Amino acid sequence: MDKMIVRRMEFYGYHGVFEEERKLGARYYVDLELELSLREAGETDDLTKTVNYAEIHELVRGIVEQKSFKLIEALAEHIASSVLDTYTRVDALTVGVTKPHPPFDIKFDGVTVELRRTRK
Catalogue the active-site residues: 99
CA distance 61 to 9: 9
Tallying the residues shown for the chain, one arrives at 120
Number of C-beta neighbours around residue 97 at 10 A: 28
CB 90 within 8 A of CB 84: yes
